[in-house]
Each structure stands twice: as C-alpha cells, then as structure tokens.
Structure 1
Amino acid sequence: MNLDVIGQAVGLFAVTNIDDILILALFFAQGTGHRGTARNIAVGQYLGFVGILVVAGAAAFGASFLPEGVIPYLGLLPLALGIKAAVSAWRHRHDSEDAREASAKGPRALEVAAVTFANGGDNIGVYVPVFATAGAGSTSVYVVVFLILVAVWVAAGRYFATRPAIARVLSRWGHVLLPIVLIGLGVLILVDGGAFGL
C-alpha cells in the first residue's frame, strides 16, 4: 500500500467532510436517551457515504447513476427533514425540556443516510476526477481509508455531543439548531447547484 495515497485519502476525506461532524453531533444530541441512537447514526452515515462512493466511482469509471443536473436537487432531502424537525420543535415549543426530550424521537438511520448523501453532492464532484485519475488500485485504497474514517467521524460527532459544555448547549438548543442546520444545508445545496434556476 502506498503511504502517499493513504495520506492523500485522509486529507481529502477530512476536507470534504468537516461539516459532517457538526451534523453528527446534532444527531447525537437529538438521540440522547434513546436506545439505538449510536447504531442508527452509524448505519445511516455508512449508508449515505457508501451511496456517495457508488455514484462517484461509477461516474469515474464511465457509468452514471445520477445525471449531473439532478445533484443540486438533493438539497430537497435535508430541506424537507429540516422543515419536519422545525414543525416538531414548533409544536413542542412550550414543553419543558424534559417533556421535549421525552416526546422527541431519536434519529432514524435512513434520515441520517439521506442527509449524508445530500450533503455529499460536493464530495461526488471532488471524488470523480480523483478516482478517474487514480486507477482501480489507488481508488480501492481511497475507499477503504474513507470507510475507516466514517467510523472516526461518527465517534468524533458523539464525542463532541457528549462534552459537558457542548452537551448543555445542544440539550437546550439542539431542537432549534438541527432544523436550522438542515434547512440551511438544503438551501445551500440548492443555491450552489443552481437548482430551480437559483
């Protein structure tokens, strides 16, 4: 295994996925006290990221599952999930913090996967030329390193969500921050990609 390729893969993953740590921390905060939260988040993150790799790999080697013009519209996924979370936060706005936590549902794996995949539109754009020029052997190294780093990212998101100072903020404001981040992410993906002529 070429150490240069491993180093490049680590750097590329970190640069293209830095924003995922905040989203993962918000998901962990949302799932506080719910069974299976860590499993759902990890499974969802892996499903979404494998989807990104499949699309990028296919495009790099000549096939394409998603036409390039469709990618900006992936912003509708986090936008819809953010609106859903905002409606839920609004309905429970007068609830006490304990009641709000009791009524909240932990994140579902498919929701996490949808957000991860939608947020990965820019990753696809970066990974395609890298995979196309790297060749099959180096691309497989990239994929293995990326999949290992997904676990590191999930652990980092959980770590940040459980730090006392951060956990207090997320516990108090997470129900507001999650919809804002998801809606903002969805709008950003739509606008950056030029969806709907934006």
Structure 2
Amino acid sequence: MNPGLIGKAAGLFAVTNVDDLLILALFFAQAAGRPGASRRIVVGQYLGFAAIVAVAVAAGFGATFLPEAALPYLGILPLALGVKAAWLAWRDRGEAADTPTLAPRALEVAAVTFANGGDNIGVYVPVFATSGVADMVVYVVVFLVLVGVWCLGGRFLATRPVVARVLGRWGHVLLPAVLIGIGLLILLG
C-alpha cells in the first residue's frame, strides 16, 4: 500500500467530515445511559457513510444515480428530523430532567449522515473518477476505518465532563438546531 495515498485519503476524510464529530457527539449525548443506543449510532453512521461512498463510487465510474439538482433536496431529511426533535423537546419541556428522551435510531443517524454528505459526494466523485480501481479501494477502506475513529471521537467528546454537562443541559436544544441548520444549509446551498 502506498503510504502517501493513505495519508491523502485520511486527510480527505478529515476535511470533509469535521462537522460529523459535532453531530456524533450530540447523538452520543442523547444516547447516554440507553442500552444499545451507541451501537445504533455506529451502525447508522456506517450505513449513511456507506451510502455516500456507494453514490460517489458509482458517480466516479460515470453512473450518477443522483443528479446534481437533486442534492439540495437531501436537506429535507435532517430538517425533518430536527423539526421532530424540536417538537419532542418542546412537548416535553415541563417534564423532569431525568425523563428519558428518545435515543436516535440507526436509520435516523444514517439519514442525517447521508443528507449531510452531499459535499462529501461532490468532493469524492472527482477524486474517484481520476483514481484507478486499486486507489479507489484504498480510499474506501481508509474512509471506513476512519468512520469508526470518528464514532469513537464523537463518543469521547460526549463523555468529557464539561462537554457532557453542556450537552446534557442543552443537547435537547442543540441537536434540533444543528439538524435544522444542516437541513437549511443543504437546501439553500
């Protein structure tokens, strides 16, 4: 394996997925203390990212499944999930702080990951289109390994005492706000 290619793949992943760390931290904070919730977040993150990579690889080979004009409409997914989370937070606003909120489901995490990946697709397609199959495989393998690292990073952030206190106190507001913001940015972008 070419170490330079691995470094380029890692750098490309990091640059295009920085925003996912915040989203993952919010999801992990929301899932705190709920059995199986962390696993669902990881599964959802992998499902969503696998869909991003599949579209980018297909487009790199010239079989574009999503026309460029359709990409902004992916913003509807996080926007809808954000509105739903905001509604639930508003509806439950008078209840005790220890009242459990719904932990994110794998398909919700996957939908947010995929919808937030329009920029990833836009960056990955030309890279994949100009790479040979062997190099494309290296990119994909590095990306999939780094999804796990990102999940660990998001969980790490969510469990830091200062971050956990902030997310515990404001996560019910931050998650809907971030999802709505991402949805609007995608729709308007």
Give the deviation of 1:134 after TM superposition: 1.2
Matched, 1:17 2:14: no
Alignment match, 1:183: 180
Distance of 2:88 and 2:38 partners within structure 1 = 22
1:36-55 equivalences in 2 (<5 Å) = 36-55=36-55
Distance of 1:49 and 1:112 partners within structure 2 = 10
- For this pair of structures, how many residues does the alignment match? 189
RMSD between aligned residues: 0.6
Q: Which runs of 5+ in 1 are unaligned?
A: 193-198
Distance of 2:65 and 2:46 partners within structure 1 = 19
Give the deviation of 1:127 after TM superposition: 0.1
Counterpart residue type for residue 50 of structure 1: A
Matched, 1:105 2:108: no
Counterpart residue type for residue 30 of structure 1: Q
Alignment match, 2:74: 74
Do 1:28 and 1:38's aligned partners in 2 also have CA atoms closer than 8 Å? yes
Task: List per-residue Cα deviations over 1:94-131 (Å, max 9, x = no partner).
Answer: 112112xx2x1111000000000000000000000000
SS in 1 for 2:98: helix
Alignment match, 2:152: 155
Give the deviation of 1:69 after TM superposition: 1.0
Q: Which runs of 5+ in 2 are unaligned?
A: none
Counterpart residue type for residue 71 of structure 1: L
Matched, 1:83 2:80: no
Counterpart residue type for residue 134 of structure 2: G
Distance of 1:49 and 1:89 partners within structure 2 = 27
SS in 2 for 1:97: coil
Superposed structure 1 runs of 4+ greater than 3 Å apart: none
Alignment match, 1:196: none
Task: List per-residue Cα deviations over 1:129-154 (Å, max 9, x = no partner).
Answer: 00011111101000000000000000
SS in 1 for 2:28: helix
Distance of 2:26 and 2:120 partners within structure 1 = 21
Give the deviation of 1:37 after TM superposition: 1.2
Distance of 1:111 and 1:65 partners within structure 2 = 22
Counterpart residue type for residue 139 of structure 1: M
1:160-175 equivalences in 2 (<5 Å) = 160-175=157-172
Give the deviation of 1:74 after TM superposition: 0.1
Do 1:27 and 1:41's aligned partners in 2 also have CA atoms closer than 8 Å? yes
Matched, 1:118 2:115: yes
Counterpart residue type for residue 59 of structure 1: A
Q: TM-score, normalised by structure 2?
A: 0.99
Distance of 2:162 and 2:25 partners within structure 1 = 13
| Greater shift in the superposed pair: 27-36 or 150-159 | 27-36
Do 1:34 and 1:105's aligned partners in 2 also have CA atoms closer than 8 Å? no
